A = this chain, B = another copy of it.
Amino acid sequence: MTFQAPESLSEQIAQHIGQRIIIRDLVPGSRIQELKVASDLSVSRGSVREALLILERRHLVEIFPRRGAVVSSLTVDSVNNLYDIYIDLLCMLGRKLVERWAASDLDGILMRIREVEAVTQAINSPGPDSAEKIIDAGYMVMRHVFRLVENPFLEETLENFRPAISRTYFVALENFQGSIGQTAVFFRRLGEAALSGDADRLQSAIQAFGEHQRQQVLRILMEEESA
C-alpha cells in the first residue's frame, strides 16, 4: 500500500490505521509502533506521529509519554462512558435543530430522513454491507443537521466521536443484522419527533435510539468479557 497527495498524508495514514482499529483488526490495548507503520506504508516517521495525534483526537488511540501509542480500550465501562457523552451531544444537536430551523429547512431534513428510511426498508437480505449502509445513511442525516445548526464546535466534537462509535457498531454487527427492521422504526420515530418541532419529544427519541444501540453493544461485549 502506497500513499500519495502530501498535503493530507497524515490524514490518509490516520484513516488507514483508524479503519483497522474500527474493524478490530488492531485490537484494544495493542501498541502501534511508529517505525513499523512508517516502514510498512513507506512514509516518514513524522507523518505517522501526526496520524497518531489525529487518531488520539478521534478517541481511537491513547498516546503515553514513553510507551507510545496504544489502541484505546473497548470495555463495558468505556462503551458506557462513550455513549453517555455521545447521546448527550446528540440531544444537544436535536434541541439546537428545533430551536433553529425554519419551515424551508424542513423539506431538506424530511428528504434525508426518507432517504434513510428507503435505505433501511430496501434491505431484505441483511449482510455486512447493509449494516454499513444504514450507519452511513444515519451519518448523512447528521451532516445535514450540522449544516442547519451551524455550531462548528458541536459538529467537530461529534465527528471526533464517530470512529469510536463506529467501532462499537462493529462489535454488535451480527446482532445488528437481525435488528435492521427495529432500526428503521427508530429512524421513523426520530423523523416524526423532529417534524413535531417538540424538543422534548425529539430528545426522548434520540435517547431511546442511543440506549438501544448501547444495549446491543453491551450485550455482546459482556458475552465476550465473560467468555
Interface residues of A (CB under 8 A from B): 7-8, 46, 49-50, 53-54, 56-57, 59, 65-66, 78, 81-82, 84-85, 88-89, 92, 96, 150-154, 156-157, 161
- The 4 A-B pairs at the shortest CB distance, nearest first, are namely A46-B46, A81-B151, A53-B53, A57-B57
A153 touches B81 (CB 8 A): yes
Copies of this chain present in the complex amount to: 2
Quick one: which of B53, B65, B84 contacts A8, CB cutoff 8 A? Answer: B65
User: In the bound complex, what is the Cα–Cα distance between A92 and B87 (angstroms)?
Assistant: 11
User: In the bound complex, what is the Cα–Cα distance between A43 and B85 (angstroms)?
Assistant: 37
User: In the bound complex, what is the Cα–Cα distance between A110 and B161 (angstroms)?
Assistant: 33
Residue among A78, A82, A96, A152 having the largest count of chain B Cβ atoms under 10 Å: A152
Residue among A49, A57, A65, A153 having the largest count of chain B Cβ atoms under 10 Å: A153
Contact (A152, B53) CB under 8 Å given A88-B88, A88-B92, A157-B157: no
User: In the bound complex, what is the Cα–Cα distance between A82 and B53 (angstroms)?
Assistant: 23
User: In the bound complex, what is the Cα–Cα distance between A154 and B161 (angstroms)?
Assistant: 11
B81 touches A152 (CB 8 A): yes
A85 touches B46 (CB 8 A): no
- With CB as the reference atom, state the residue of chain B lying closest to A54: B53
User: In the bound complex, what is the Cα–Cα distance between A153 and B79 (angstroms)?
Assistant: 10
User: In the bound complex, what is the Cα–Cα distance between A88 and B94 (angstroms)?
Assistant: 13
